[in-house]
Structure 1
Amino acid sequence: MTAPKPTPAIFRALALNLMLALALLAGGARDASSASARQIDADVDDALHHFYRSVGGAKELMRDAAGVLVFPSVIKAGFGVGGEYGEGALRRQGYTEGYYNTVSASFGFQLGAQARTVIIVFMSDEALGSFRRKNGWKVGVDGSVALITVGVGGSIDSNQIKKPVIGFILDQKGLMYNLTLEGSKITRIDR
C-alpha cells in the first residue's frame, strides 16, 4: 500500500495549522513580554528553589558553574505544528546579568499546551563567553546542551557534569525525560 499523494487540501490544512500555532505562540509571547525584570527575577528565584528541592546535588552543581540561564516557564502550544516561547535570566554568582527569550518550532502530531522550566548551566567560562558573544544562540548549531537525567536516588549523575553546557527540563513534578532543546533559539532581550 502506498502513501496518499499530498493534495492542495493537505497543504492548506498544514498552512492553517501553522498559522494557528504561530498565533497561539505570539499570544503567549505578547503576554510573557510584558513581564518586568523584577517579575522575571522572582520567577527565576522560584524555579531555582524548586530545582534545588527536586534534584539532589543541584546546589553544589550551581556553585561550580560559570553561569546559569533559567527560563521559569516555557510555554509549548500546538495543533499539528507547534511552538515554544519563554523568558528568563542569565545569572552569574547569584546575580542577574541579562534577560533572554527562547523560541522554537516543532512539527508532527501535537495538540494542546504545556509549560515547563528550562535550566541551562554553563560549566566553564569559555562556554559562557561563547554564549554571550552570540546574538541569537541556537542550541545544536552554536552550542550543544547535554540534557541531564537524574540517577538512582534522585541525584545528578556526576559523570555527566563534565560537559561544558548542560541542561535540565522540569515540570511541576520534577525532571522530564525524552525531551530536547535542539533547535531552540535564545536571544538577549531588554528589560
Structure 2
Amino acid sequence: MKKTILLALCVSVTAGAASKEEIDAEVRAALVAFEKQAPAGHELAKNASGMLVFPNVVKAGIGVGGEYGEGALIIDGQTVGYYSLASASIGFQLGAQSRSQIMLFMNDEVLAKFRNSEGWKAGVDGSVAVATLGAGGGIDTETAQKPIIGFIFSGKGLMYNLTFEGSKITKLDR
C-alpha cells in the first residue's frame, strides 16, 4: 500500500512535467527570492562556475515519502540544461511541503564531474555543504570554502536541518 502511494505521487508529478519556458520562469522567480532571503548566498553565486536551481521541490509522504522537482543548470547567466531531482525515504512522515533548492558548483572541476555524469547522486558523486547563515546574514567561512554549496529555502526564508544527501539528479531531455 505504501509503495502504491509513493508510486502514485511520482507518477502524478512526472505526468505534469514542465516545459522549458515554465521551468525558466520558475527559476527566475526562485533567484529573485534567493537574492532577497540570502544576499550573502547570492554574492557567493557570482563566483560559482555553475548554479543548479530547483525552484519547486515537492516532498510528500505517509510513512513512505518521496520528493521531486525540475530545474535548470545556469552557467554565466545562461541556461545550459534541464534536470530533475528525486529521492525516496522511509520512516515517520506525514504531510507535504514545497521548497526551492540551489546548488552552487564553486569550481570547474566539480561542475564538469556533475555535467559528465549519467545520474548524479548527492553524497555519493559529490558532497553538498548546506549553507547556514551566521550573525549578520553571512555564510559560515568553512562552508564558503566547500566545492559544492547548497541552499534550501521556502517563501518563509532559509530552511535548516535539511539535506541534499540521497537526492538523485538526472538530466532531462528538453
State the percentage of identical aligned residues: 56
1:38 positional shift = 1.1
Would you say how many aligned residue pairs link Structure 1 and Structure 2? 174
CA distance in 1, matches of 2:30, 2:138: 17
CA contact (8 A) 1:71 1:119 kept: yes
- Unaligned 5+ residue runs, structure 1? 1-15
TM-score (norm: length of structure 1): 0.88
Q: Deviations 1:24-79 (Å, cap 9, x if unpaired)?
A: 22212221x1x111111111011011000011223321110000000000010111
The residue that corresponds to 2:112 in the other structure is 129
Name the Cα RMSD after superposition.
Answer: 1.0
Residue 40 (structure 2) pairs with residue 79 (structure 1): no
2:152 corresponds to which of 169, 173, 188? 169
Residue 14 (structure 2) pairs with residue 21 (structure 1): no
Aligned residue runs from structure 1 range 2-81, under 5 A: 16-31=1-16, 33=17, 35-81=18-64
4+ residue runs of structure 1 moved beyond 3 angstroms? none
- Unaligned 5+ residue runs, structure 2? none
The residue that corresponds to 1:188 in the other structure is 171
| Bigger radius of gyration | 1
CA distance in 2, matches of 1:152, 1:107: 35
1:171 positional shift = 1.2
CA distance in 2, matches of 1:95, 1:70: 12
CA contact (8 A) 1:85 1:103 kept: yes
1:159 positional shift = 3.1
1:152 corresponds to which of 121, 135, 154? 135
1:150 positional shift = 1.0
Amino acid at match of 2:160: Y
Amino acid at match of 2:127: S
